[in-house]
């Protein structure tokens, strides 16, 4: 397994990963059939990130397949440039292999270099595996957004978490 920054050449595989996650991940925002991105749009987005000082996408490459990713998007203005919002997703068949831990370690190493001070993320309350990882990585619960998501006809809260570097 190799954890690295995404490159424009990864656009097609990255989009394929996202479509696969849409079909299997019950705790992500986008469901199967809702994603409308194209390879061209993904390539343009990656290019934009390459030219940013506080935005990045890290991927886990397992034998040439992208098994998961972690994106971190820093603020665009002087007052929030130091803060980055994280989204992480891993294909089910690759969970339990330390990929999440590896993605967080690589991201935090980068975050310190680019002088991010605050990391934040949201997690659906029923996603106990993710919450456990985030707490283990030093994130703390800041608050709860009640009934934020409607999943299979049932409302779920989103737990807001952060970590100060």
Q: Residue 81 sits in which domain range? A: 2-116
pLDDT above 80 for 87:
yes
Average pLDDT over residues 60-65: 93
pTM score, two decimals? 0.93
Query: Would 141 be classed as within a structural domain?
Result: no
pLDDT above 80 for 134:
yes
Query: Would 102 be classed as within a structural domain?
Result: yes
Query: Would 43 be classed as within a structural domain?
Result: yes
pLDDT above 90 for 25:
no
Count of domains forming the chain: 1
Greater confidence, 129 or 86? 86
Query: Would 158 be classed as within a structural domain?
Result: no
Mean pLDDT of the chain: 95
Query: Would 163 be classed as within a structural domain?
Result: no
Query: Would 162 be classed as within a structural domain?
Result: no
Average pLDDT over residues 6-18: 96
The pLDDT, as a whole number, for residue 159 is: 97
Query: Would 138 be classed as within a structural domain?
Result: no
- How does pLDDT run across 34-50, given as a tens digit for each residue? 899 999 999 999 999 98
CATH value at residue 102: 3.40.630.30
Per residue, the 3-state secondary structure of the chain, as one string, reads CEEEECCHHHHHHHHHHHHHHHHHCCCCCCCCCCCCCCHHHHHHHHHHHHCCCCEEEEEEEECCEEEEEEEEEECCCCCCCCEEEEEEEECHHHCCCCHHHHHHHHHHHHHHHCCCCEEEEEEECCCHHHHHHHHHCCCEEEEEEEEEEEECCEEEEEEEEEEEC
């Amino acid at each position: 397994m190799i954890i690295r920054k995404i490159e424009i050449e990864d656009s097609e595989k990255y989009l394929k990963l996202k479509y696969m996650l849409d079909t299997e991940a019950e705790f992500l925002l986008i469901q199967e059939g809702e994603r409308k991105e194209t390879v061209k749009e993904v390539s343009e987005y990656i290019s934009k990130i390459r030219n940013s000082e506080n935005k990045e996408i890290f991927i886990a490459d397992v034998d040439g397949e992208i098994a998961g990713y972690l994106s971190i998007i820093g603020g665009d203005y002087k007052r929030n440039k130091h803060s980055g919002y994280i989204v992480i997703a891993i294909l089910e068949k690759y969970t339990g292999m330390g990929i999440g831990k590896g993605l967080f370690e690589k991201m935090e190493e980068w975050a310190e270099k680019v002088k991010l001070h605050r990391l934040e993320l949201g997690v659906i309350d029923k996603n106990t595996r993710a919450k456990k990882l985030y707490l283990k990585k030093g994130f703390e619960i800041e608050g709860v957004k009640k009934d934020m998501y409607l999943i299979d006809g049932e409302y779920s809260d989103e737990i807001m978490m952060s970590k100060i570097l």
